[in-house]
Copies of this chain bind each other. A is one copy, B any other.
Amino acid sequence: MSAVQREIVTPAEARDALLSQVDDRLRGLLAAETSRWSAVDPRAAVPVEAVAALIASGGKRLRPAFCLSGFLSAGGDPAWEPVAVDAAAALEFLHAFALLHDDVLDDSPLRRGETTAHERHASVHRAAGWAGEPRRFGEGVAALAGDLAHIYADRLVSALAPAAREIWHELRTEVIIGQYLDIRVAAERIADPELSRWIAICKSGRYTVHRPLVLGASIAGRQDLTPAFTRYGAALGEAFQLRDDLIDAFGDSAVSGKPTGLDFSQQKMTLLVTLAMRRDDRVSRVLAGQSGDGAGDGATLAQIVTDLNVRGEVERRIDHLVEQAQAAIAAAPLDLEWRDELARVAVETAYRQK
């Protein structure tokens, strides 16, 4: 897209035009890999197809969108658009990697309304009556498919300059450490609101909003936007995660495509639960596992959170965080049209249904 054209399209149109290039990039790379490995043996393409199935199952493409918004709002040179598109596609592959491994860690049966990879391949194994353990096979396929998505993500950031590459490494390292702390805190039933808040912000907020925006701006050579995007990303990232918790707790599985109440049954220390803890000691007692029965505890937790109407409190906190994000962007050295667009995106992200 030339600079001339960019003047006559809205920021959202410009971003969506590049987002469709991101989808082409994802599909193109996967199609090439599928045909390449199928030529060796039809079976060899199975891990590639597992990645392709997840990518094709939709998703909000939030991270690519924030990366491209960071690039375009920073006035990125059209000559660098292919690099920005590849980086945005890399973020989507990285997300596929994180989801494939995360669904095994959480033993989640459903993702984007479809059976998760480890469940699907365990069923294939079971139905075919293959040798060995269906669970190990299914989880193995999901692990390898995730590793492959991770490799594809890296392939697409080859052209990044050192500063942008550092953001990339930082982003994915944080996600892994956050994932570990997430399962560790759930296992130990640690009721530490501050640690849990850090985990939620590290593995979800920064990864979804802050780092992709800063990455896009860095590709455009605008390190000066880092402070504003960091404030915007920190606030919106937390709002994003709080909404995620509400969708998990009270959402409609048919809309979200994810099981409802999974965080409760796994006693995840979500931001929602940390807020409930501050209001009622029973939450800590349940999380400390006084009743040993996980499922029972999950139900109790859901009931307490509902009784306390923490939901209303969380909605108010989301409102406050959206205002913070909008204030940060209003003060940013960006074109007026992009400040308006990012303010609109904050609302769209914080009040989404799925």
Question: Are A130 and B188 in touch, CB under 8 angstroms?
Answer: yes
Q: Which of B41, B146, B162, B188 contacts A195 (CB 8 A)?
A: B41
B-side contacts of A221, CB under 8 Å = none
Asked if residues B130 and A180 are in contact (CB atoms below 8 Å), the reply is no
A60 at the interface (CB under 8 A from B): no
A312 within 8 A of B: no
Which B residues lie within 8 Å of A141 (CB)? 180, 183
- Interface window among A10-18, A80-88, A101-109, A333-341: A101-109
Which secondary structure characterizes the binding site on chain A? helix
Count A interface residues, CB 8 Å: 56
Interface residue A37 (Cβ < 8 Å from any Cβ of B): yes
Q: Which of A42-50, A223-231, A237-245, A249-257 contacts B (4 or more CB under 8 A)?
A: A42-50
- Shortest distance in angstroms between A288's beta carbon and chain B's nearest beta carbon? 10
Find chain B residues with CB under 8 A from A147 CB: 97, 101, 146-147, 150, 176
Report whether A176 and B151 are in contact in the complex, using a CB–CB cutoff of 8 Å. Answer: yes
B44 close to A132 (CB less than 8 A): no
Known: A150-B150, A180-B141, A180-B144. A186 touches B47 (CB 8 A): no
1/0 contact trace for A207-221 toward B, CB 8 Å? 000000000000000
| Residues 133-176 of chain A, each 1 if its beta carbon lies under 8 Å from chain B, else 0 | 00011011101101110110011001000100100010011001
Q: A187-B132, A188-B128 are in contact. Are A139 and B139 (CB under 8 A)?
A: yes
Q: Tell me the nearest residue of chain B to A266, going by C-beta.
A: B132
A349 within 8 A of partner (CB): no
Q: Which of A105, A130, A148, A176 has the most CB of B within 10 A?
A: A176
The verdict on A181 contacting B289 (CB below 8 Å), with A169-B155, A172-B151, A187-B137 known, is no
CB distance from A252 to the nearest CB of B (A): 27
A294: CB under 8 A from chain B?
Answer: yes
Q: Is the CB of A143 within 8 A of B105?
A: yes
How many angstroms from the CA of A96 to the CA of B146 in the assembled complex? 17
* Besides A43-B180, A140-B180, A150-B150, 6 new A-B residue pairs in contact (Cβ under 8 A), listed by A number: A33-B173, A97-B147, A105-B143, A137-B183, A143-B143, A144-B179
